[in-house]
Structure 1
Amino acid sequence: MTIDIRPVGYIIGWLVAALGLAMAVPMLMDAWDGHRNAMAFAVSALLALVAGAGLAVTCAEHRPRALSLRQGFLLTTGSWAVFPAVAGLPLMLGFPHLSFTDAYFEFTSALTASGGTIIVGLDDLPRSVLLWRGMVTWVGGIGVILLAMILLPILNVGGMQVLRNADFNTLGKIMPRAKAIAASIGSVYAVLTLSCCLAYVWAGMDGFDAIVHALSTVATGGMANHDNSFADFSPAAQWIATFFMLTCSLSFVRYVQLARGEPRPLFVDSQIRTFLGIYFGLCAALVLARSLQGTVIDATSLREIAFSLASVITTTGFAATDYSQWGPMAEVVFFCAMMICGCSGSTSGGPKVFRYQLLFSAISTEVARLHSPNLVHTPRYQGVPISNELLDSVIAYFMMFLLSFGVGAVLLSFMGLDPVTAISGALACLSNIGPGLGPVIGPAGTFAPLPDAAKWVCSFLMLVGRLELLTAYVIFTAAFWRG
């Protein structure tokens, strides 16, 4: 039985129309500033509204009451692939007049909360463009939380079905639970954004910088307003950013429980404790690396270490200093951080800590079975037995992650990139970190020098990485379309 794509088209159509309506905000800012770029946003909004509403009306007779499993995969991948093309329209039609390739890359990076950019001269951009980048990043951040908490556990993708555990409150009927989860997480997300914005103002940022950087920080997206990213902001602002980057890389469901008067799950969650332990352990490794390089470890260097590592391990992508100059040992530490990333149910990308915990539990069980074969050994995660289906899903994720990373790095190398840029670029895009290592795409560089073909490879890696790989790859199989 072939898949009916019309219900998917109906939903995507209205989502595109909603994106067009959102363009009214930067359009009004341009009008307020007296910038002629307002016309580009107006035309783009009109195109998005007409195209989106037209698609929705065309498919209206097939509006869905419920989506099938295959339609769920198609909706997820299709919407995330279409949005960057629509969101990039204002930057193609108006300032800075990007090509389609550059606009698609820029807003793929924004929507997936990666933080890489191809724009040189951020300080000269209209405020509307900077705000639009921040808005799209913020939407992508909450979108991936809801994706992880509601849809991926149902689709059994990459071990995310572990979130069906009662601790995550996703049992029961799907739609009522989904609405309740979305409302609760949306409230927490908004409160964190407002808190971050006010803290930035307190630390000396002007109102506009505080708003845009708060949108990007809470989404762990790293879309900055300045070419120097965070380097020109006060030490207090950098410490605030470090705090909120780490905060938003923890599971948001724990904040929902905290808001409901249940603080204990936040403090006993093994994934959160493991993540914070890894973070502080890698901070100590960077202190050692910089000491061996001859750097004096003072308050400034400690702040640089804490901020830079938080930016990488949470997949945010802000930069306050060029950490690629800290020596080979530091590069290895940052590379390890790129391979780990934050917690499930957060805005961070990458493999996530819980998958490593699941694998470690399975390996420990196998070792125990070898020396005590007569005993029953069951791998567990947070006290809950791990099924073979779950372990198979996690192993499949890691296999696809490594394969995607390897193929991406090879393709980028074939396109003329040096090994450091190709390898770190593939990993940075796949884990949605943004900046890689080296002089080209490192924290002091941009993706602008890359050839167009390399930008498309990076865009693809960012999309599949944000969608937990298998969600996107499944639609490329013949069996998916045959049913």
Structure 2
Amino acid sequence: MAWATFRIIAFINGIFLITLAISMVVPMFTLLVFERTQELNAFLWSSLISLLAGLAMLAQGRPEATQLRPRDMYMLTVSSWVLVCIFAALPFMLTQHMSLADAIFESMSGITATGATVLSGLDSMSPGILIWRSLLHWLGGIGFIAMAVAILPMLRIGGMRLFQTESSDRSEKVMPRSHMVAKFMVAAYLGISLLGVLAFWAAGMSVFDAINHSMSAIATGGFSTSDRSIGNWSQPAVHWVAVVLMILGSLPFVLYVSALRGNYWALLRDQQVQGFLSILLGTWLALGTWYCLVTDLHWLEAVRHVAVNTTSIITTTGFALGDYTLWGGFAGMLFFYLGFIGGCSGSTAGGLKIFRFQVAYILLKANLLQLVHPRAVIKQQYNQHRLDEDIVRSILTFSFFFTIIIALLALALTLCGLDWITALSGAAATVSGVGPGMGPIIGPAGNFASLPDIAKWLLTCGMLLGRLEILTVLVLLMPTFWRH
């Protein structure tokens, strides 16, 4: 890779670090409001270090004649997420005196909107740290939307080119220029975040809690201001606001642009959105009815508990209303399966994404029809796009490596001394971006603090791999990538 390419990658990463440094003004202002000035120096030093590092990367300037090729985008994508994660860990180390492993784990969980945590005692924790965790979710959420819409289709990752037409090929139907599309997506993200704050506040939360949970919900992250998560608030309105925000964060943001431009039915006509909402509604009704029958709860109460927890799992948010691992073996296994689904492409949600399951169904149906009618020419389409071999191959490749990474990570975690339930659910929860695992240690009632440092480093890598769609990271491990 040429020196000029490294310079432009460093230049862009410098901008990201300066943005991160400026973002630390938010927790500083929060500390001033809550009169907790004793922790102000930690954020000041963190901001200053991040700012100086960013300015050092910008010092050499941007090479004028150099353009990033698609292969260079792999390096930019991975390096930017890793660097931001490292510098975002500074406040955790300076205020909470966390170890390097714990601080990097927490910041990676925040910026990748995973929601796994090593912190406890959140109800009495510094408001500066609480708002910083939620802000990392919020920044990571908008960052992933940009990556999913603009970068992953260009890098031919996991069939994401199916959605490239929504942001480029048909951009004249949405907005005349791609940078205007980006502005509208940011506007939608800001607008939903603000509406979320107002809704949570009206439902019974304090302004501070409303801001934190709105940022966490729209980014489908899962960090809360209480150890009991969303269950700390008994008002049903709070729970339903969380459900709505999690769903909004899991829908394709490019379709919000279409809606803002007057195509108000764009979201509901999308095949992926229809599948996502159908799975959610079906799960609510089926599991809610079952939970009503095995408990003394009224049906509406049972559906509310199920709606919060299943929506949180499917959208890979990580909020919890009670400890759903105590609901029995059937519910526990179902929750484990739901964690792999994820939201829609081009959203803040993680997981495999709905469209890959839909494409797999289309392929299965086509193959079965081919067996019945060997000479028939079967048309394979998804969302009015033809499924060519290149897209099918990339989807199958991603799905295979997604499964293999979880299996290998779980195996490595058992070598660290973890039991198989903690290891398997922890690997799946971090790679899928769900956050909490299963069992008494890392389940919704626990956290990851008691795990050995080597396990935390492995899970941190799992979060990065899952958020960057795995292949983006794995390609950097190939020797041919570094050859001219």
TM-score of the two chains, using structure 1 as the length reference:
0.95
- The equivalent residue for 2:48 is 46
Q: Deviations over 1:279-318 (max 9, x none)?
A: 1222234235435644544332221101000111001101
Matched, 1:368 2:377: no
* Alignment map for 1:462-473 (pairs within 5 Å): 462-473=463-474
C-alpha distance in structure 2 between counterparts of 1:80 and 1:289, whole Å: 42
AA partner of residue 383 (structure 2): Q
Contact 2:11 2:62 in 1 (8 A): no
| Deviation at residue 125 of structure 1 after TM alignment | 1.6
* Alignment map for 1:102-113 (pairs within 5 Å): 102-113=102-113
- The equivalent residue for 2:59 is 57
- The equivalent residue for 1:146 is 146
Structure 1: give runs of 5+ residues left out of the alignment: none
AA partner of residue 427 (structure 1): A
**For structure 1, which segment, 410-419 or 362-371, has the greater mean C-alpha deviation from structure 2 after superposition?**
362-371
Q: Deviations over 1:243-266 (max 9, x none)?
A: 111121111122211111102221
- The equivalent residue for 1:283 is 284
Q: Deviations over 1:362-412 (max 9, x none)?
A: 222222222212221231101221110000000000011010010011111
- The equivalent residue for 1:160 is 160
| Deviation at residue 176 of structure 1 after TM alignment | 8.2
2:37 to 19, 23, 35: 35
* Alignment map for 1:83-232 (pairs within 5 Å): 83-94=84-95, 96-165=96-165, 167-171=166-170, 177-232=177-232
| Deviation at residue 66 of structure 1 after TM alignment | 2.7
C-alpha distance in structure 2 between counterparts of 1:236 and 1:118, whole Å: 29
- The equivalent residue for 2:411 is 410
Three-state SS of the structure 2 residue aligned to 1:250 is coil
* Alignment map for 1:397-436 (pairs within 5 Å): 397-436=398-437
Matched, 1:318 2:319: yes
Contact 1:154 1:161 in 2 (8 A): yes
Question: How many pairs are equivalent?
Answer: 479
**For structure 1, which segment, 181-190 or 29-38, has the greater mean C-alpha deviation from structure 2 after superposition?**
29-38
C-alpha distance in structure 2 between counterparts of 1:7 and 1:253, whole Å: 28
**For structure 1, which segment, 289-298 or 100-109, has the greater mean C-alpha deviation from structure 2 after superposition?**
289-298
Q: Deviations over 1:15-37 (max 9, x none)?
A: 11221121122123223314211
| Deviation at residue 212 of structure 1 after TM alignment | 0.9
Contact 1:258 1:266 in 2 (8 A): yes
C-alpha distance in structure 2 between counterparts of 1:453 and 1:34, whole Å: 34
C-alpha distance in structure 2 between counterparts of 1:47 and 1:420, whole Å: 40
Contact 1:7 1:63 in 2 (8 A): no
Structure 2: give runs of 5+ residues left out of the alignment: none
| Deviation at residue 232 of structure 1 after TM alignment | 1.7
C-alpha distance in structure 1 between counterparts of 2:331 and 2:72, whole Å: 44
| Deviation at residue 99 of structure 1 after TM alignment | 1.1
Contact 1:150 1:170 in 2 (8 A): no
- The equivalent residue for 1:353 is 354
**For structure 1, which segment, 103-112 or 227-236, has the greater mean C-alpha deviation from structure 2 after superposition?**
227-236
| Deviation at residue 474 of structure 1 after TM alignment | 0.7
- The equivalent residue for 1:251 is 252
Contact 2:251 2:346 in 1 (8 A): yes
Three-state SS of the structure 1 residue aligned to 2:37 is coil
TM-score of the two chains, using structure 2 as the length reference:
0.95
C-alpha distance in structure 2 between counterparts of 1:54 and 1:176, whole Å: 36
Change (3 A) 1:282 1:34: closer
Change (3 A) 1:291 1:205: closer
C-alpha distance in structure 2 between counterparts of 1:393 and 1:34, whole Å: 51
> Which portions of structure 1, spanning 4 or more consecutive aligned residues, are displaced by more than 6 angstroms?
none
- The equivalent residue for 1:387 is 388
AA partner of residue 259 (structure 1): L
Contact 1:141 1:220 in 2 (8 A): yes
Change (3 A) 1:348 1:170: farther
- The equivalent residue for 1:460 is 461
